[in-house]
Amino acid sequence: MSESAKRYVQIMDTTLRDGEQTQGVSFSPAEKLNLAKTLLEQVRVDRIEVASARVSSGEADAVRQIIDWAEGRGLAERVEVLGFVDQGRSIEWIRSAGGRVLNLLTKGSERHCRGQLGKSLEQHVADVRACVGRACDAGLTVNLYLEDWSNGYRDTPDYVYRFVEQLADTGVGHFMLPDTLGVMTPEQVEAAIADMVARFPGLCFDFHPHNDYGLATANVLAAARAGVSALHCTVNCLGERAGNASLAEVAVNLRDQLDYRTGIDETHLARTSELVEYFSGKRIADNAPIVGADVFTQTAGIHADGDRKGSLYHSRLSPERFARRRKYALGKLAGKASLAKNLERLDIQLSEEQQQAVLRRIIALGDSKKTITTEDLPFIIAEVLESKDYDHAELLACSVASTMDLESTASIKVRIEGDIYTAVGSGNGGFDAFMSALARVVKKRGLTLPRLTDYEVRIPKGGRTDALTECSIVWQTEQGELRTRGVHANQVFASIAATLRMLNIVIHRALKRAAAEAEAVSD
């Protein structure tokens, strides 16, 4: 089937209205404007719902700014505002902000109608008809939310049928069917919407899901199969309680699972998710489908090996489709293929022996850090390739404690040439305390630690606070300057690793010197 022949389903994003019902989320007018531009122009959703009427002056300002921008691009009819049956006050609020579309909230269940409004179906219908007529006279397009429709359809379907029948001739554009409390299963959604579509073939129906049972995306697909015209969603599943359906999940599943068309530009989904994450202050899980930080990262070495031998672990969800990149995690589960994939990306060539040495170091570091990034890899390679793995001294145990306004302390247990030593030191910071303790140990061996002349700590460019740390230290020894480096997830322990490498070299030199002197005496 050609692309143009495929069924088209509209996407209405309500991040800026329903998404703000997430606990602790409130977008500023400037943030709303930027997100509206991104959603309409880049992601290319069909419609956006941007506010609730009569909330605040700031909300009115946000709507005004969005409409002013949208008018210049012919998009004003795609910007919608939630309003209420309130004797025309919502209509005036929307008109004064320049709005063109009213999404009118009505009661889609008899329980809500009688329990919340204290009115009969006929009374509520009369109020709604009057409100719709007033809005149309004011030049607004009207869509209708049937709040609590899912419970209304289950408990009193006759109320739902009569309600829609008596409003079908009012010129309402979309009858929007919310699963307000997220209580429906996919089977129930499909059956209910198929019934509504068949019963009212001349009307356009939207489905508005909620995710209380974790079924929002599945329910969206069921609604689409049942013939719904439009689907509602939010970026990053924002919304009241457990949220709405994810825009990214909805768009991708409609395309891949149902072979339907939407207007969505998938290459902007991840960036939009990051923008909403930043503006909302609500972080998404690293394993969130499509947009999560880790969803295109292979961790197990066997998966990297399979990809190397023929893309055996690839699917239609390719990272390139979303302007992202596949990654191969480096850590204790990494294998030779994972390392090779990362070396290819960095255009670094290592011998088989060097790769084995680097992989051993990666696995060791993986025990103390969840993952090691490609950006960490040059630090590890440099450390491994420059190191001389002498085994004269080994740190068996170490505890470093730092407290504000008090000296730091370090307790260490060290093996030197088969002998075990323990010591405690204090100092100005954790590393200084460690050096104090180590000095006590080497003194017992008749050694003196060389003077530290330079100390540098780095993380990879663009690294995060949990990035690997590289510590490079220059020591002044009798033979001249000695530079050692250590790599660790913890800055203090990176410094300690660099110091232990120095100690091993110093001891090795001392042993060589002693052996040479002994040989000279014997001669």
Catalytic (active-site) positions: 17, 147
Pair 449, 423: CB distance under 8 Å: no
Q: Is 372 helix (H, G, I), strand (E, B) or coil?
A: strand
DSSP per position, 315-349: -S--GGGGT---EE-BSTT--HHHHHHHHHHHT--
Q: Which of 510, 515, 513, 501 is nearest to 391 (CA)?
A: 501
* Distance in angstroms (rounded) separating the CA atoms of residues 508 and 501: 11
Any idea what DSSP says for residue 436?
H
Q: Cβ atoms within 10 A of the Cβ of 94, count? A: 27
Q: Please report where in the chains the tokens 């290592």 appear, as a residue.
A: 350
CB 423 within 8 A of CB 441: yes
DSSP per-residue codes, 243-282 = ---BHHHHHHHHHHTT--B----GGGHHHHHHHHHHHH--
Tell me how many helices (H) and strands (E) the chain has. 17, 16
Cα Dmax for the chain: 118
Strands across the sheet containing 408-416: 393-401, 408-416, 419-427
Cα gap 51→79, rounded to integer Å: 10
Contact in structure between 78 and 86 (CB atoms under 8 Å):
no
Angle at 344 between CA 342 and CA 349, to 5 degrees: 105
